[in-house]
A and B are shown apart, each in its own frame.
Chain A
Amino acid sequence: MIDFKNVNKTYPGGFHALKNINFSLQAGEMAFLTGHSGAGKSTLLKLITLMEKPTSGQVIINNSDLSKVSYSQVPYIRRNIGMIFQNHNLLMDRTVFDNVALPLVIEGLTPRQIRKRVEAALDKVGLSSKLKCYPYMLSGGEQQRVGIARAIVNKPPIILADEPTGNLDPKLSLDIIQLFEDFNAVGVCVLIATHDLGLIARMKYRNLTLTQGKMITDGLAVTEANE
């Protein structure tokens, strides 16, 4: 589902953010991406979502080599990836409902289908009551969950999350991770970048670790040991 082959990323200005990254994530797999601040976690996720281009190497998502994806194809690749980022990327002048509905509107679903799916997604993140609120009326954690609802509402085969529990209390964090587990259980590939080592320690998922742009472990040995 996600394949990195000898991927390097050097930012304009010369900072070498990712160094020869190799790993692959199968469909239906769930993994954490950890590392110190500045290790390159967000950079790696940006490569998957075509927000940045690798300086060298190949990123293959869902059997498409991203270096061969034309500009006009980018949106269709992105529709297969539910993205949750550190900034919530919400439309501030739109209600919670409208924000979550956006991916479905883009795909051209009927109003009835949209309403049903949006309500289900908001229910999953526990925000059913905030349907008509605007993002500025919500707390940081609530905004985060609106972002999560938007990422899952069109049932993408891949979900990426950058610090999804950053603003949440431990109880809510666990709820959210369990939500990702639910998606994973129905075959969605989930990759979560996080600092929250305590949270990871309690679970037995694969853990990819970056240090200064290098992947020091791709977590495979650990998973095998666990099985």
Chain B
Amino acid sequence: MKNNTQKTSPSLIARLLSPIHQGQQLIASFHDLWRTPMASLMTILVLGISLALPATLHLFSKNAERVSAQWQTAAEISVFLKMSVTEASAQNLVQRIKLYPQVQQVRYISADDAMDQFKKLSGFGNALSYLDTNPLPITLLVTPTQRHSQPMAAKALLEKIQGEREVEQGKLDVEWLTRLEAIMVLIKDIVFALAALLSFSVVLIIGNTIRLAILNQKDAIAVMKLVGATDGFIQRPYLFTGFWYGVLGGLLASATVSVLGRYLGLAISSLAELYENQFSMQGLNLQELGVLLSIAVFLGLLGSYISVRKHIRSIEPNAD
């Protein structure tokens, strides 16, 4: 027996002529994509769009998370004092609250200041000056330290402040924070489920495209088997094809996500301006792009591998 242990190397369908290096084969198989331009294009489009969808959702949840993180650390407790509290005792309270270890800063807003601000913001303007007395209480804005700005800790602080006798009412809007967190978790779950489903269909579609390519070359494959080609040898160009589908589909997905991301970013930052909030959309970073591309290549290879395993084996040479 000769050559039993010899490893086979290059590919036929890519290039028969000489046992060219794998790199050259890879490039040759890239050109092979354009032999069936429609099928290749459709496959790449499906792959790109399928991956762009969960990636865009991921981008969304990532940015939403950043925004909520900003708001969360800036969480303030509004403390409304009883109407009867004088300015002096209010200042006294400010000093006491400043001594709390959980508190970073306390801002004092006198009833008059509060009125001015309200006039400005509400747009009632002069109408309010017809009021005899100022109906607004003295307000303190308490900013917790970083460590105590999480919903639970902030709530504990709120309760403590409400224990002070000058305080009528304190308000901490933690409800929407917890709700936002729940939504974020939900979005992440959706991204994951969607990605899994779409990946599955991508594998099927690539598998089918490769299957058609194999059936197109049925006779050539039979001849190769006749002269002793191993399945590994025959399947290599198809795996390369799957690889290229992955690369091109991944690039398409990345491009789509950055375009969508930029578009979304514009919309959001104009919205953020309304809320006096500095916000800039963050696109996918290099690492995330790398992950996206790797997933695309992996799916391309997986789809072609499954197809190749199944269909090349079933082709047999015949003599008639």
Residues of A within 8 A of B (CB): 42, 45-46, 49, 51, 62, 64, 71-72, 74-76, 78-80, 83, 85-87, 89-94, 97-98, 101-103, 105-111, 114, 150, 157, 162
Which residues of chain B in 177-236 are interfacial with respect to chain A, using CB atoms and an 8 Å cutoff? Answer: 219-220, 222-231, 233
The residue that A108 contacts in the complex, of B2, B9, B224, with Cβ under 8 A, is B9
Contact B227 A150, beta carbon cutoff 8 Å: yes
Contact B16 A98, beta carbon cutoff 8 Å: yes
Contact A109 B19, beta carbon cutoff 8 Å: yes
Say yes or no: A78-B319 contact (C-beta < 8 A), given A102-B16, A106-B233, A108-B19.
Answer: no
Q: Which residues of B contact A64 (CB under 8 A)?
A: 1
Q: Which residues of B contact A107 (CB under 8 A)?
A: 3, 6, 8, 228
CB-based closest 5 A-B pairs: A111-B18, A79-B228, A108-B9, A78-B228, A98-B16
Q: Report the minimal beta-carbon distance from B156 to chain A, rounded to whole angstroms.
A: 68
Contact A78 B226, beta carbon cutoff 8 Å: yes
- Closest A residue by C-beta to B20: A111
- Closest B residue by C-beta to A160: B319
Contact A105 B230, beta carbon cutoff 8 Å: no
Contact A76 B228, beta carbon cutoff 8 Å: yes
Contact A89 B228, beta carbon cutoff 8 Å: no
Q: Report the minimal beta-carbon distance from A208 to chain B, rounded to whole angstroms.
A: 18
Q: Which residues of B contact A162 (CB under 8 A)?
A: 319
Q: Which residues of A contact B276 (CB under 8 A)?
A: none
Q: Which residues of B contact A109 (CB under 8 A)?
A: 19
Which residues of chain B in 1-53 are interfacial with respect to chain A, using CB atoms and an 8 Å cutoff? Answer: 1-4, 6-10, 12, 16-20
Q: Report the minimal beta-carbon distance from A157 to chain B, rounded to whole angstroms.
A: 8
Q: For A79, A87, A92, A94, which residue has the most chain B Cβ atoms within 10 angstroms?
A: A79
Say yes or no: A51-B10 contact (C-beta < 8 A), given A91-B220, A101-B17.
Answer: no
CA distance A102 to B222 in the complex (A): 13
Q: Report the minimal beta-carbon distance from B99 to chain A, rounded to whole angstroms.
A: 80
Q: Which residues of B contact A111 (CB under 8 A)?
A: 17-20
Check: B317 CB closer than 8 A to any chain A CB: yes
Q: Report the minimal beta-carbon distance from B90 to chain A, rounded to whole angstroms.
A: 87
Say yes or no: A42-B320 contact (C-beta < 8 A), given A76-B1, A107-B8.
Answer: yes
Q: Which residues of A contact B226 (CB under 8 A)?
A: 49, 78, 83, 89
